[in-house]
A and B are shown apart, each in its own frame.
Chain A
């Protein structure tokens, strides 16, 4: 029996670049280089490992985004994913988390799936709610924030490390999992993988392919509105001393002056 795995990934602005907002208070994607969200690399890695353990599995990588977002798909394909789906539509600009979960859920259903694998959060919005929202929409168990994951005989198992406890979780497929950066180092694409990726199929879908109306997504369909975005004022330069034997004492003096001691 074949195991159909869909991995959701996001193309995000490089965090080391100078990120800022566009005039409509959406994220400006023109001035900063984009890349596959680092946290989604862990999702691709775990999906590939699950597929390698299964007799017969297919890994499809799915993203929503502008033309450039294909770069994120190519990266995942070069790591070893089998095929890719790119949801691209001008009406998607400004879509919030609720809308994103709608598009992902519809695309996942259209693609067909036994298991969805997501990263714990994107590195730009960092909300961390999309996996739970997609699980709610698909009506499948959410097995989220896993630092370990495995699939056997139609059951997904994993470990979730919370603040108060570490939990062992279990659910029947179909299910959605999300994995943390503790789940295992993501592999680097090999030269062979990069060459093979160029020949792998990338399907393009737009909103009409998913039976979604333009008003349901984008800035007009958003359930939230950013009313103001202001750059945080630069911190005023602090006092910096060189330790010449009294650095610890000088620091204690500063902390006492600030009433921390």
Chain B
């Protein structure tokens, strides 16, 4: 059976969920061979094996932390040359897409980004994408070279599938371009204890109607009652009420959770682009004419300062 390279997104050996989703998708088109780089790479093997990786190629070097992107491209290329896979799958993070693109160019292949589904095809894997602010769904294929495809978080349910997960050291020699962009400082983001926005099953967002940074505590309380991530519209971010890393929309993150709750968000096209593929959509807004109501499964026309705290209390009491 053909091997499929899966690029592992991990933090010091802790594998992030989108990689496990990728392993699930990879099994539809072949045998997953995972590539884990950097600090803690070998520690990823157990969980990758539990999710279907027949082999885990690992390599650690200071270059991965000290320089931007290119050392990872060099390593993925080394893995590609060692394995000759039928496809290369990479999580659709900002960095993942850059690594995948440069690899595709080097190996003479096409690239598809932000796939939301993947299936085996007669000639090559067929990727589903959601485009034009999720108003269209396309099916695409890479028609030259080995398909390089990046896949969005929440595109598949994670399925366990025990496999060998045998660790093999990858041999990597860095190109002379690897050290071109130096990382001179790194400030880790403070953890809020909430799920990562793009990976969360539930996202609770606030917009212009939240009317101030101090009022976001209402949104956070609702999120915490549901174990959800907190998102914000561009209007709320531009006003400085919430960090840009939480922005949902065309210029922020695109999310596809099981449940999306929009509070005080009108639903401009740029916001819809980032959340329209959510499975269930709920909105609370004072304005009955807000375009967000065209998308909802359930909408409440009302003041979020009344509705949201009441909802939070009701959830807490139901959960006991």
Contact = CB atoms under 8 A, between A and B. Distances in A.
Interface of A: 15-16, 19-21, 25, 38-39, 96-98, 101, 120, 123-124, 126-129, 132-133, 135-137, 139-145, 147, 157, 160-172, 175, 180-182, 222-232, 235, 238-243, 245-252, 254-256, 258, 260-261
Given A224-B110, A240-B299, A164 B314 contact: no
Interface string B111-136: 11110000000000010001111111
B61 interface: no
B159 to A, nearest CB: 20
Given A15-B133, A252-B315, A127 B114 contact: yes
B94 A128 contact: yes
Nearest to A248: B310
Contact of B105 (A137, A144, A228, A252): A137
- Chain A: interface secondary structure? mixed
B94 A145 contact: yes
Interface residues of B, number: 92
B181 A141 contact: yes
A254 B283 CA distance: 12
Given A165-B186, A182-B244, A231-B136, A248 B308 contact: yes
Interface in B206-231: 226
Interface string B49-79: 0000000000000000000111001000000
A24 B27 CA distance: 32
Nearest to A231: B136
A168 B141 contact: no
B189 A163 contact: yes
Given A143-B68, A167-B183, A228-B139, 16 more contacts: A98-B110, A129-B100, A141-B180, A166-B186, A170-B182, A171-B181, A226-B138, A227-B140, A229-B131, A231-B135, A235-B294, A238-B296, A239-B299, A243-B302, A248-B308, A248-B312
A44 to B, nearest CB: 16
Q: Which 9 residue pairs spanning A and B have beta carbons closest together? A: A243-B302, A248-B310, A223-B110, A141-B180, A168-B185, A129-B101, A252-B314, A248-B311, A132-B98
A255 B282 contact: yes
B156 interface: no
Given A132-B102, A247-B302, A258-B259, A224 B69 contact: no
B309 A248 contact: yes
A15 B250 contact: yes
B109 interface: yes
Given A230-B136, A239-B297, A248-B308, A142 B250 contact: no
Nearest to A257: B298
Interface of B: 11, 68-70, 73, 93-95, 97-98, 100-102, 104-106, 109-114, 126, 130-145, 177, 180-189, 196, 198, 202, 226, 244-245, 250-251, 258-259, 269-270, 273, 276, 280-282, 284, 288, 293-303, 306-315, 318-319
Contact of A248 (B97, B102, B313): B313
B301 A240 contact: yes
Nearest to B282: A251
26 contacts: A15-B269, A15-B273, A98-B104, A123-B250, A136-B105, A147-B244, A168-B184, A169-B183, A222-B110, A223-B143, A223-B144, A231-B136, A235-B281, A235-B294, A240-B288, A240-B300, A243-B301, A245-B306, A248-B310, A248-B311, A249-B310, A249-B311, A252-B315, A255-B315, A260-B202, A260-B258
